[in-house]
């Protein structure tokens, strides 16, 4: 039985373990993506798109190459429907301003440093955050496409995230890196459900399956496959097959159509069945 506590009214309430409290805090945690000295406007738009598909919208740019980067045509084009993220984004002159309201900073760098915060994979670090007291706000820093992150920016971070890549080649486009980080972080905050490709079909009930089987029994006798004098266990076995299949109403209609075709194969001289 779960341990219980009492609230200020004296009402018993279930005890929440530390990890559950941390996960609940994570669900409302502020998440910010910070691009430092970005040089390509198209990449900014692609980053906005990568953020939006994972449910994030707080984007801050520090000293981008173009002052009007958020409204440049290539940025809007690459955003591909995530222009609202660009509209809400901010451009600031310093990293300190970009990190206002944030108490946990994650640098991203593929080049190992001999000094600085620990280097971890995103999944490993995010699992640690879930198990510990969750911070109020997390920022992910991404450096320039030309030279990555400076040592000074890495040193001010709590952790350096390194995406595991194939040995010998770890070059990632900045938008691809943002997409991977955003995906892993979304899994920890609470993943979005996978949308079904089509509406879930209504399942046939027992009476509809029984009626279809009666139709099939008549059809199988008409084509000579089922001997009514020695039926053995054919119909019960078919019943088990169709039960395992969990037939939809549309599939019942298809099977009854097959039964109708079997009935027509009996020949013009045979008496009609009430199941037709």
Share of the chain above pLDDT 70, in %: 84
Q: How confident is the model at residue 267 (pLDDT cuts 50, 70, 90)?
A: low
Alpha helices for 6-117 (secondary structure H): 18-27, 41-53, 73-79, 83-88, 95-98
* Predicted confidence (pLDDT) per residue in 173-232, tens digit: 999 999 999 999 999 998 888 887 777 788 999 999 999 999 999 999 989 898 888 888
Domains observed in the chain: 19-190 (3.40.1280.10), 206-264 (1.10.8.590)
- In this prediction, residue 195 carries a pLDDT of 80
Cβ atoms of residues 32 and 57 within 8 Å: no
Does the pLDDT value for residue 88 go beyond 90? yes
Distance (Å, whole) CA 46 – CA 74: 10
- Return the closest-CA partner of residue 102 out of 18, 38, 34: 34
User: Which range among 57-71, 72-86, 142-156, 260-274 shows the weakest confidence by mean pLDDT?
Assistant: 260-274
Does the pLDDT value for residue 2 go beyond 80? no
Where is pLDDT greater, at 45 or 19?
45
- In this prediction, residue 17 carries a pLDDT of 44
- In this prediction, residue 111 carries a pLDDT of 66
Phi-psi region of 94 (alpha: psi -120 to 50; beta: other; left: phi over 0): beta
Tell me the mean pLDDT in the region 97-103: 94
Tell me the mean pLDDT in the region 34-63: 96
- In this prediction, residue 80 carries a pLDDT of 92
In Å, how far from its chain's centre is CA 149?
29
Strand, coil or helix: 177: helix
Q: Average pLDDT over the chain, rounded to whole? A: 84
Cβ atoms of residues 202 and 248 within 8 Å: yes
* Predicted confidence (pLDDT) per residue in 22-38, tens digit: 444 445 579 999 999 99
* Predicted confidence (pLDDT) per residue in 109-148, tens digit: 766 666 778 999 999 999 988 887 678 899 999 998 888 8
Largest CA distance in the chain: 93
User: Token pair 């970005």 is at which residue?
Assistant: 38
């Amino acid at each position: 039985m779960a341990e219980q506590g009492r609230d200020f009214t004296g009402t018993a309430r279930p005890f929440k373990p530390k990890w559950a409290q941390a996960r609940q805090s994570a669900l409302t945690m502020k998440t910010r993506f910070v691009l430092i000295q970005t040089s390509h406007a198209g990449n900014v738009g692609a980053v906005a798109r990568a953020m939006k598909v994972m449910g994030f919208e707080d984007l801050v740019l520090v000293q981008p190459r173009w002052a009007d980067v958020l409204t440049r045509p290539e940025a809007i084009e690459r955003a591909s429907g995530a222009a609202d993220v660009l509209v809400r984004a901010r451009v600031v002159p310093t990293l300190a301003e970009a990190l206002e309201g944030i108490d946990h900073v994650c640098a991203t760098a593929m080049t190992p440093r001999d000094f600085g915060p620990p280097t971890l994979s995103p999944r490993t670090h995010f699992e640690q955050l879930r198990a510990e007291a969750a911070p109020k706000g997390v920022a992910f820093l991404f450096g320039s496409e030309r030279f990555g992150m400076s040592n000074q920016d890495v040193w001010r971070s709590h952790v350096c995230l390194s995406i595991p890549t194939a040995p010998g080649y770890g070059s990632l486009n900045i938008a691809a890196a943002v997409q991977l980080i955003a995906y892993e972080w979304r899994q920890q905050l609470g993943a979005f459900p996978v949308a079904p490709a089509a509406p879930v079909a209504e399942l046939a009930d027992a009476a509809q399956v029984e009626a279809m089987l009666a139709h099939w029994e008549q059809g199988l006798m008409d084509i000579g496959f089922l001997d009514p004098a020695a039926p053995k266990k054919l119909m019960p076995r078919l019943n088990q097959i169709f039960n395992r299949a969990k037939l939809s109403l549309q599939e019942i209609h298809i099977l009854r159509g097959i039964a109708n075709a079997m009935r027509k194969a009996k020949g013009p001289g045979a008496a009609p069945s009430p199941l037709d």
